[in-house]
Structures are given as structure tokens and as C-alpha cells.
Amino acid sequence: MAKILSEEEKEVLLSKAEKEDVATIDNGATFTQLEYMARVYEATGQEKYKKGFLRGLDYLLEAQYENGGWPQYYPIRKGYYEHITFNDGAMIGVMQLLRDVAQRKEPYTFVDAARRNLAAKAIEKGLHVILQTQIKVDGRLTAWCAQHDRHDLTPQKARAYELRSVSGGESVGIVKYLMEIENPSPDIVRAVEGAVSWLERVKITGIRVDRVKDPSMKRGHNAVVVKDPSAPPLWARFYEIGTNKPMFVGRDGIVRDKLSEIEEERRNGYSWYVSSPQELLEKDYPDWKQKWGTTQK
């Protein structure tokens, strides 16, 4: 992002083909660059960086659905891109930036009051849709899918190997965001405790994932699940809704029970297990619980 571009590279980025219908919040895009631009403005005082930041902020505010969610691409790109997207921290990254703007935190103190008010309203709407999309099974709160339908908020698939599921990965960022809210409402408390309870129930112990050197593989290694009673807990990236069964899916879209059963390219080119819930459960949640939590009814 901080690379000094050649004139040719600048021309490509400014071309009509590059600019039309490709703006996205996926993979840390847009909100990350906006934070960077705000810091550059803070350091230099040059108005062009302030103007650029405000244009980007206006874009994020405009891109939000009326129900509070954000699509992966805006202007809307047809397909799974138009779903409300939690995948890879997309929507939560936007909400964190808008929250800091609304609260006039550094480096966003230069943002005008009108935009701060709009940011505050946007995160309230975003919070509402987060609470609405949390998946319930038999009346019990679990966590979130990586993406939800923009209209009825149901869990939805994205790419062929990213099926409807409860996410052991993306849900962590959502819970951490909720835990950062001061004076949480009973609904927020229930959402946090429901998700934490679910993460406790679905943790996987007794295994680790090794990347074993293998020259026959395209990436030069093979992801192998190894039994290890002393290994720290892991979580599957995707769990089947209702059964909490870990899901491993290749580009054929067929669910397999084991990582070893999907093709080499997806097995070694995607993160099927995550460890991020461990810190949430062992540190973040106990600290939050002491301050705000109550036992879920």
C-alpha cells in the first residue's frame, strides 16, 4: 500500500476499467487505506489527504444497506459479492473505522460533526444487523456465517467451497467488536455469551495441523492433521449448521469429513482450521465477563 508507484502503474490504477465496479471492502481494502490516509494527513497537514479520506468515508456510508449491512463490493456486483459480508473481517473492519470516527479518536479528529453523526448512525444500524444475523439453532444462539443474504439475513454460500455454515473464524472478530461496546445492552450480552458458549462447545482438541515438506505438491508442502494430545485447541473454519460438524469442501462444492479428502489445491491453499478463538475464550472473554457479563438465560 505504501509502495511508490511508477507513472505506468498510476495510469493503470486511474484507468476507467480499473475504477469501475471494483471498489471493495474485501481483504482489508478501503478501510485500511483510509486509516493510512488519515495518518498521513495527521503527519503532513496536506489537504489532498484529508479530501481523499473524506471521499472514502462518504463511500463507506453510501455503501451501507438500509438494514445495516455492507456488501463486499459497491457499486453492487451481482453474485455472492452483494451478500452482507463478514468474511475476512470486511464489515467489522468498516465498523471499527466508523466507530473511531464517530468517537473522534485519533487520527480522525479532523472529521466534521455532520459526518461523525452519520458514522454513529451507521454503526448503530450495523450493530442491529449483527444481532439479527446471529444464527439460532433450536432457539439457542450460536455464531455467524461468513456472509448473509442482504434481504432476509439468512446464511448464504459464497465461493464453491464456502458453503452455508457457522464460522469458527469470522465470528471471532464480530464477538470482539461486541465486547468493545461500553455499557452493552442485554441483547449484546446475550449475543456475546451465546457465541462464546458455542465456541466452547465446538473446539477441537487432540490434533495439530502440520505443513509437511513435499516437493510433489504445487506449493511444496502438504497440510496434514496429526494427533497430538498436548496440542492447543483448534476450531474449524466452517461448521455445519445444526450438527456442528466441521466442513471441508473442495472446488466441487462437496462436503468432506476430513481435510485429507479434498483436493491438493484447496487443502493447501486455504485455512481450514483457526486458533483465534483461543485468546478470545481464555483472555478477552473472562476480562469482559468480569466487567459486563451475566450468565445467559
Q: Which residues pair with 84 in a beta bridge?
A: 71, 148
Residues 6+ apart with CB under 8 A from 44: none
Is 140 catalytic? The answer is no
Q: What cell does 292 get? A: 459486563
Quote the Cα angle for 45-51-56, to 5°.
125
Cα(221)–Cα(213) distance, integer angstroms: 4
Q: What cell does 126 get? A: 450495523
Residues 6+ apart with CB under 8 A from 238: 146, 162, 163, 165, 166, 167, 168, 246, 247, 249
Peptide bond into 184 cis (omega under 30): no
> Comparing C-alpha atoms, which of 103, 9, 124, 147 is closest to residue 61?
124
φ and ψ of 194, to 5 deg? -65, -45
* DSSP summary character for residue 88: G
Is 67 catalytic? The answer is no
3-state secondary structure of 154: coil
Cα(17)–Cα(20) distance, integer angstroms: 6
Which residue in the block uniquely carries the three cell numbers 442482504? 150
Q: Of these residues, 104, 140, 159, 211, which one is catalytic?
A: 159
Cα(160)–Cα(163) distance, integer angstroms: 7
Query: Hey, which residues are catalytic here?
Result: 27, 159
